[in-house]
Structure 1
Amino acid sequence: MKNRIWIVCLACLWLVNNGVFSQEVSPRSVFSLNEGWECRPITTVSKKALFTPVTIPHTWNTSYSEGTILYDRKMMVYQRPLEITNAMKGKRLFLYFEGVNSAAQVFLNHRTIGEHLGGYTAFCFEITDQVKEGENLLEVWASNAYRTDILPISGDFNICGGIHRPCHLIVTGQDCISPLFYASPGVFIHQENISEKEAGIRVETHLSLKNKKEGLKLKTTVTDADNKVVANSETAVTDSIVKQPMLVNRPVLWDGKKNPYLYTVTVELYDGNQLKDRMVQRTGFRYFSADHEKGFFLNGKYLNLYGFCRHEDAKGKGSALLPEDYKMDMELIKESGATAMRLAHYPHAEPMYDLSDENGIILWTEIPMCGPGGQAFTGLVDTEGFKENARLAVKELVYQKFNHPSICFWGICNEILVSDGKKFVEYDDPIPFIKELNGLYKSIDASRLTALATCVDQSYYLGSSDLIAWNKYFGWYKDAAPSASKFFDDCKNTSKGIPVGVSEYGGGASVNHHQWPLAMEDRADSHFHPEEAQTFCHEGNWESFAKRPYLWAKFIWVFADFPSYMRQEGEVDGYNDKGLVTQDRKIKKDAFYFYKANWNLEPMVYITSRRFVKRDNPLTDIKVFTNLKEATLYINDEKIGTMKPDEMKRVIWKDIKLNEGRNTIRVEGKNGRGFLSDSCEWYYIGK
Structure 2
Amino acid sequence: MLKKITFILLISLLTTNLALQAQTSKRLVNNWEFVKGDLGGAWEAVRPVKAGNPEELPFWQKVSLPHCFNAKDAVDPDVNYYQGPGWYRTNIEVENPYKQGRTVLHFEGAGQKTVVYIYNIKVAEHIGGYDEWTADITDAVAEFKKNPVYQAQFKGKIPVVIRCDNSRDLEMIPSSLSDFNVYGGIYRYLNLVYNPQVSVDKLFAKASIAETGGYGKLTVSARLNNLSETKNAQVKIYIKDPNGLSIADFTKDIKTFKGDSLLWDWSLRAPKLWSTDLPQQYTVTMDIIADGQKSTISQKVGFRKFEFVKKGPFMLNGKRLLLRGTHRHEDHAGVGAAMTEEMIVTEMKMMKEMGVNFIRLGHYQQSRIVLDLCDSLGILVWEEIPWCRGGLGGATYQAQAKRMLTNMIEQHYNHPSIMIWGLGNENDWPGDFTTFDQEKIRTFMKELNILSHQLDPSRSTAIRRCDFCRDIVDVYSPSIWAGWYRGDYTEYKDVSLAEFNKSDRFLHVEWGGDSHARRHSENPDNALSKIKKGGGADERAGDASLYGGAARVSKDGDWSESYIANLIDWHLKEQETMPWLSGTAYWPFKDFSTPIRPENPVPYVNQKGVIERDFTKKEAFYIFQSYWTNTPMVHLYGHSWPVRWGEEGEEKMVKVYSNCDEAELFVNGKSFGVRKRDSQNFPAAGLRWQVPMNKGKYTFKVVAKKGKVTVTDEITQEYQTEKWGKPAKMTLNKIEEKDGIATLEVKMFDDKGVLCLDAINLVSFNLIGDGELIRDQGTSTGSAKVQLYNGRAIIRMKTNNAKSVVSVQSKGIPTVFLNQ
Does residue 636 (structure 1) correspond to residue 636 (structure 2)? The answer is: no
Q: Distance in 2 between matches of 1:265 and 1:526?
A: 55
Q: Which residue of 1 aligns with 2:357?
A: 339
Does residue 463 (structure 1) correspond to residue 471 (structure 2)? The answer is: yes
Kept in 1: contact 2:98–2:196 (CA 8 A): no
Q: Distance in 2 between matches of 1:478 and 1:425?
A: 29
Kept in 1: contact 2:171–2:393 (CA 8 A): no
Q: Which residue of 1 aligns with 2:444?
A: 433
Supply the AA of the counterpart residue of 2:644: R
Q: Which residue of 2 aligns with 1:517?
A: 523
Q: Among residues 163, 173, 184, which one is paired with 2:186 in the alignment?
A: 163
Q: Normalised by the size of structure 1, how large is the TM-score?
A: 0.89
Kept in 2: contact 1:529–1:570 (CA 8 A): no
Unaligned runs of at least 5 residues, structure 1: 1-20, 179-185, 372-377
Q: Distance in 1 between matches of 2:117 and 2:493?
A: 56
The more displaced of 140-149 and 126-135 is: 126-135
Q: How far did 1:341 drift?
A: 0.9
Q: Which residue of 1 aligns with 2:314?
A: 296
Supply the AA of the counterpart residue of 2:195: T
Q: 1:396-545 maps to which residues of 2 (within 5 A)?
A: 396-417=407-428, 427-429=436-438, 430-454=441-465, 458=467, 460-495=468-503, 498-518=504-524, 519-521=526-528, 522-525=552-555, 528-545=558-575
| Cα distance change of structure 1 residues 166 and 425 upon mapping to structure 2, 3 Å threshold | closer
Kept in 2: contact 1:254–1:405 (CA 8 A): no
Q: How far did 1:486 drift?
A: 1.5
After superposition, the C-alpha distances for 1:54-73 in whole angstroms (9 at most, x for unaligned) are 11100121122754251101
The more displaced of 196-205 and 51-60 is: 196-205
3-state SS in 1 of match to 2:554: coil
Q: Which residue of 2 aligns with 1:255?
A: 274
Q: 1:618-633 maps to which residues of 2 (within 5 A)?
A: 618-633=650-665
Q: Among residues 156, 166, 172, which one is paired with 2:195 in the alignment?
A: 172
Does residue 31 (structure 1) correspond to residue 26 (structure 2)? The answer is: yes
Kept in 2: contact 1:107–1:114 (CA 8 A): yes
Q: Which residue of 2 aligns with 1:12?
A: none
Q: Which residue of 1 aligns with 2:343?
A: 325
Q: Distance in 1 between matches of 2:509 and 2:77?
A: 34
After superposition, the C-alpha distances for 1:141-163 in whole angstroms (9 at most, x for unaligned) are 10111112321013111122100
Q: How far did 1:87 drift?
A: 4.1
Q: Distance in 2 between matches of 1:528 and 1:173?
A: 61
Does residue 582 (structure 1) correspond to residue 601 (structure 2)? The answer is: no
Q: How far did 1:610 drift?
A: 3.4
Q: Distance in 1 between matches of 2:633 and 2:73?
A: 39
Q: Among residues 378, 389, 394, which one is paired with 1:383 in the alignment?
A: 394
Q: Distance in 1 between matches of 2:313 and 2:307?
A: 8
After superposition, the C-alpha distances for 1:179-234 in whole angstroms (9 at most, x for unaligned) are xxxxxxx1111235546732222211111113344431222222213433333332
The more displaced of 391-400 and 300-309 is: 300-309
3-state SS in 2 of match to 1:297: strand
Q: Among residues 265, 276, 288, which one is paired with 1:269 in the alignment?
A: 288
Kept in 2: contact 1:499–1:550 (CA 8 A): no
Q: How far did 1:249 drift?
A: 1.3
Q: Which residue of 2 aligns with 1:279?
A: 297
3-state SS in 2 of match to 1:256: coil
Does residue 660 (structure 1) correspond to residue 695 (structure 2)? The answer is: yes
After superposition, the C-alpha distances for 1:422-461 in whole angstroms (9 at most, x for unaligned) are xx9962322111111111111100001111111x6x3x12
Q: Distance in 2 between matches of 1:67 and 1:453?
A: 31
Does residue 591 (structure 1) correspond to residue 620 (structure 2)? The answer is: yes
The more displaced of 481-490 and 388-397 is: 481-490
The more displaced of 443-452 and 290-299 is: 290-299
Percent identical: 26
After superposition, the C-alpha distances for 1:650-677 in whole angstroms (9 at most, x for unaligned) are 2344542112111111221234445322
Q: Which residue of 1 aligns with 2:756?
A: none
Q: How far did 1:24 drift?
A: 4.2
| Cα distance change of structure 1 residues 674 and 278 upon mapping to structure 2, 3 Å threshold | closer
3-state SS in 2 of match to 1:482: helix
Q: Distance in 2 between matches of 1:228 and 1:127?
A: 39
Kept in 1: contact 2:325–2:356 (CA 8 A): yes
Q: 1:139-288 maps to which residues of 2 (within 5 A)?
A: 139-154=161-176, 155-178=178-201, 186-194=202-210, 197-240=214-257, 241-271=260-290, 274-288=292-306
Kept in 2: contact 1:309–1:557 (CA 8 A): yes
3-state SS in 2 of match to 1:416: strand
3-state SS in 1 of match to 2:577: coil
Q: Distance in 1 between matches of 2:29 and 2:434?
A: 47
| Cα distance change of structure 1 residues 612 and 143 upon mapping to structure 2, 3 Å threshold | same
Q: Distance in 2 between matches of 1:140 and 1:568?
A: 32
After superposition, the C-alpha distances for 1:493-534 in whole angstroms (9 at most, x for unaligned) are 222xx2111111001112221111221342323684111111
Q: CA RMSD in A?
A: 2.2
Kept in 2: contact 1:233–1:246 (CA 8 A): no
Does residue 40 (structure 1) correspond to residue 30 (structure 2)? The answer is: no
Supply the AA of the counterpart residue of 1:668: V
Q: How far did 1:39 drift?
A: 1.3
3-state SS in 2 of match to 1:258: coil
Q: How far did 1:470 drift?
A: 2.6
Q: Normalised by the size of structure 2, how large is the TM-score?
A: 0.75
Kept in 1: contact 2:206–2:220 (CA 8 A): yes
The more displaced of 349-358 and 477-486 is: 477-486
Does residue 96 (structure 1) correspond to residue 102 (structure 2)? The answer is: no
Supply the AA of the counterpart residue of 2:86: M
Q: Among residues 53, 63, 67, which one is paired with 1:54 in the alignment?
A: 63
3-state SS in 1 of match to 2:664: strand
Q: Among residues 70, 73, 78, which one is paired with 2:83 in the alignment?
A: 73
Supply the AA of the counterpart residue of 1:40: V
Q: Among residues 536, 554, 558, which one is paired with 2:584 in the alignment?
A: 554
Supply the AA of the counterpart residue of 2:333: K
3-state SS in 2 of match to 1:252: coil
Kept in 1: contact 2:124–2:136 (CA 8 A): no
Moved over 6 A (4+): none
Q: 1:69-148 maps to which residues of 2 (within 5 A)?
A: 70-85=80-95, 87=97, 90-132=100-142, 133=145, 134-148=156-170
Supply the AA of the counterpart residue of 1:517: N
Q: Distance in 1 between matches of 2:559 and 2:341?
A: 32
Supply the AA of the counterpart residue of 1:31: K
| Cα distance change of structure 1 residues 627 and 192 upon mapping to structure 2, 3 Å threshold | closer
Q: How far did 1:237 drift?
A: 1.6
| Cα distance change of structure 1 residues 632 and 69 upon mapping to structure 2, 3 Å threshold | farther
| Cα distance change of structure 1 residues 660 and 425 upon mapping to structure 2, 3 Å threshold | farther
Supply the AA of the counterpart residue of 1:312: E
Q: Which residue of 2 aligns with 1:356?
A: 374
Q: Which residue of 2 aligns with 1:4?
A: none
3-state SS in 2 of match to 1:598: helix
| Cα distance change of structure 1 residues 137 and 282 upon mapping to structure 2, 3 Å threshold | same
Kept in 1: contact 2:694–2:721 (CA 8 A): no
Q: Distance in 2 between matches of 1:128 and 1:616?
A: 70
